[in-house]
Structure 1
Amino acid sequence: MSALARWASDPAHSRGRLHVEPGAAERGPRDAFQRDRDRVIHSISFRRLRHKTQVFMAPDGDHFRVRLTHSIEVAQIGRVIARSLGLNEDLTEALCLAHDIGHPPFGHAGEAALKAALMGQGGFDHNGHTLRALMWLESPYPRWRGLNLSWETLEGLAKHNGPVRHPGWALAEADAALPLDLTAHSSLEAQVAAIADDIAYDNHDIDDGLRAGLLSLDAILAVPMIAAGWDAVRARFADCPPDRLVGELVRSQIGAMVNDLIASTRANLAEAGVETAEDVRIAGRCLAAFSPPMREAERVLKRFMYAELYHHPRQLAAADVASRVVAGLFAAYADDPRRLPDGWREALPGDEPGRSRHIADFIAGMTDRYAITRYREQVGEIDLPEGF
């Protein structure tokens, strides 16, 4: 890794972990952020992302993205940006890899169903659940619960979308255990990880949408930024058929966004007079950001994707089935906790809200296919739409 810039997070000056770890050097010459990244990669929660929805729920095709492949792609984009800005690549990568761990099965449809099921018990939020999973539920160590990640990694995950002034119960519990300065801005590494997420799904979802036949090339060319990129690609590869150029379009779009972000962030750092990592947190705004023209172009693209892909009738039909699966599982386990696996049943709290939150923890950790299997066992048969 190249030399760190003055505003980068330095693992030698980490604010530490919830639990002190004597003898850490026995497991190799890694700094705090490298250990965090490795703990995420080796976690069960990370492995389960390979069977969790990104855009398409339990897709038939092997070539569609899932939460795992999306997270790896986000990490690749994040590291490129971090390296160009002199940031800590390992912290950036850890944040990119872990940012979606709190998603329940079936993505946002599953989240909405759990939120409704927990309406009287504080609700459900995938970002808060990411902290909950990594701090309490994922427990590979003998002397404490959780992965015991560094303050900087937990802080970056907590503020995935910026400062948090009204945390939900899960995030509030994490903050009570290890205060994360929720109302301040996060590190530049965390800011980069958040935008790398946007860059990845803005463009890779186009690729998957075209592959699934839910988007057409003609339709996406109605988006000005896409049309301009397509014209540039066609000019460079005039002798190639259009169906060979979609990948090049996606790559060029990612490159344009990354280059814009790097240039704009450098300008913001200079304008704000940032000298240290702490200056980033007290700047009063996100410094890792697109330029105004790119920010507006990206908003137009997002509006198109919501209208034409995420809210496509086939997607809405699949989301309806997914919601019924998650809601049905919650109702079944709440009605008869003896249906829970042994370890989960034995740890079930006797009172609310702990009881319902515990059941939601179990369901949130499920993969799409495991949820479908458990539904058929515990509730009954269900007709799945095309694509499952």
Structure 2
Amino acid sequence: MSRSPLASDPARSRGREFAHSASETRGPRSAFQRDRDRIIHSIAFRRLKSKTQVFVAPDGDHYRTRLTHSLEVAQIGRVIARALGLDEDLTEALCLAHDIGHPPFGHAGEQALHEANARHGGFDHNAQTLRTLMRLENPYPTHDGLNLSWEVLEGLAKHNGPVTHPHPALAELDRDYPLDLAQWSSLEAQVAAVADDIAYDNHDIDDGLRAGFLELDDLLTVDWVADQWRAVERAYPGADRRRLLRELVRSQIGLMVNDVISHTQRVTEAMETAQDVRDAGRMSGGFSPAMFEQERVLKAFMYDRLYYHRQQVEAGDQARDVISRLYAAYDQQPEMMGGGWADVLPNEEPGRSRHVVDYIAGMTDRYALEQCRQIYGKAPSGLSNV
């Protein structure tokens, strides 16, 4: 498909926080291609392989982690971006990086850090993503961070739309390098956000069924899912049920992707430039109203039956305890932080507490458990709910 006039143009990027010379460019890559590659080669991205997606420290090899989820989001995002004529590399970079700020143990870990650091604004994984990419990842000799393009950073900052009350960590970064937080983001960023919804709505169903937390009969109480299941059964009579379940997930992803493409084309039909998307004052890329309502019903079902499942809650309680105890230990005795982190601990608040949060947020599930065991002599044994 030809390039849309609504696409972000890497040749007209607003640039990077830290200037660089043309001689630093390695290979024939656009600005957004270099951003994607910097993200993929980062330590923070590699750590996603051992961070919770839905199930805490799963024993099985086939459950999704933050890393595999991010790869699946990127695949869906590129499909949508290509169909709409958008910049696929920018979309992919945003999809790959969107969860980098998540701490160990997923939302349970996030809640624990939010409570532990409440006196200094708590914790927000989206702000932590920006902080990680702009300040904590330091592979370059001349500046902090990965020095990503403005378009990548602002798309990540506005992952769920304009930000009117930014977390203190994000507000500080915005003061250093303004990201127009109150304005809508690029169409690529909006596509990345809805690709995230499509991926976890459907792949969490796949993992939930595999783990036995979800039963097909319960899932079929969601009417539009039941419609898809009946269509799959008609198309493949007599096929193995496990294969039909995989086909159901694929069918739903395809349905949602096609809905996003057609609806976004209708909404943006009269727009002429990428700036028109930012000036629209509303989301331009996403689900149709009908699909939005269906997705909302599905999400409510998933929270009730999967995310708040008894075993999920019990594992989450244990995980929060691990993170809370780690924060207390490092807050009282910061010299226990390894990797040189104790040597650069700020003296003043909120920098001091934020430094402790940064250290814990970067941990994998496994490393957090190991550190808890070293400090306290024990940690929850078999912290896994599948």
TM-score band w.r.t. shorter chain: over 0.9
Partner of 2:335: 338
Partner of 1:220: 219
Unaligned runs of 5+ in 2: none
> Of residues 276, 281, 290 in structure 2, which corresponds to 1:279?
276
Residues 329 and 379, structure 1, Cα contact 8 Å, conserved in 2: no
Q: Deviations over 1:232-260 (max 9, x none)?
A: 00000012132220110000000000000
Asked if 1 retains the 8 angstrom alpha-carbon contact of 2:3 and 2:86, the reply is yes
Q: Deviations over 1:118-177 (max 9, x none)?
A: 100121100000000000000000000000000000000000000000001111111111
* Separation of aligned partners in 2, 1:12 and 1:353: 38
Q: Among all aligned residue pairs of Structure 1 and Structure 2, give the percentage whose two residues are the same amino acid.
A: 63
How many Å separate the matches in 2 of 1:74 and 1:353? 34
**CA shift digits 1:156-204 (9 cap, x unpaired):** 0000000000001111111111111100000000000000000000000
Q: Alpha carbon RMSD of aligned pairs, Å? A: 1.0
What SS does structure 1 have at the residue aligned with 2:197? Answer: helix
Alignment of 1:41-80 (within 5 A): 41-80=40-79
SS at structure 1 position matched to 2:160: coil
Q: Which amino acid aligns with 1:28?
A: G
Q: How many residues align?
A: 385
Q: Does residue 98 in structure 1 map to residue 68 in structure 2?
A: no
User: What's the counterpart of residue 357 of structure 1?
Assistant: 354
Aligned partner of 1:387 in structure 2 is: 385
SS of 2:345 mapped into structure 1: coil
Structure 1 residues 7 and 358 mapped into 2: Cα distance closer, same or farther (>3 Å)?
A: same
8 A contact 2:311–2:385 mirrored in 1: no
Query: 2:341 aligns to what SS in structure 1?
Result: helix
Write the letter of the residue equivalent to 2:236.
F
Q: Secondary structure at the match of 1:136?
A: helix
Deviation at 1:387, TM superposition (A): 3.4
Take 2:305 and 2:86, find their aligned partners in 1: how far apart are those partners?
36
Residue aligned with 1:192, SS: helix
Q: What is the distance in 1 between the residues matched to 2:248 and 2:23?
A: 45
The correspondence of residues 21-170 of structure 1 with structure 2, limited to 5 A, is 21-24=20-23, 26-170=25-169
TM-score by length of 2: 0.98
Cross-structure match for 2:238: 239
Give 1:322's aligned residue: 319
Paired letter, 1:68: L
Aligned-pair distance for 1:261? Answer: 0.6
Q: State how far apart, in whole Å, the 2-side matches of 1:341 and 1:104 are.
A: 17
Contact 2:136-2:144 at 8 Å conserved across structures: yes
Q: Which residue of 2 aligns with 1:188?
A: 187
Q: Per-residue displacement from partner, 1:13-58 (whole Å, max 9, x unpaired)?
A: 0000001111356410101000000000000000000000000011
1:303 aligned partner: 300
Q: Distance in 1 between matches of 2:266 and 2:384?
A: 48
Deviations 1:194-219 (A, max 9, x none): 00000000000000000001001111
Indicate if the aligned counterparts of 2:6 and 2:86 stay in contact, CA closer than 8 A: yes
CA distance in 2, matches of 1:16, 1:241: 53
Q: Which residue of 2 aligns with 1:268?
A: 267
Aligned residue type for 1:51: S
**Contact 2:10/2:30, CA 8 A, preserved across alignment:** yes
* Match of residue 348 from structure 1: 345
Contact 1:332 1:379 in 2 (8 A): no
Q: Is the 8 A contact 1:111 1:125 kept in 2?
A: yes
CA contact (8 A) 1:77 1:200 kept: yes
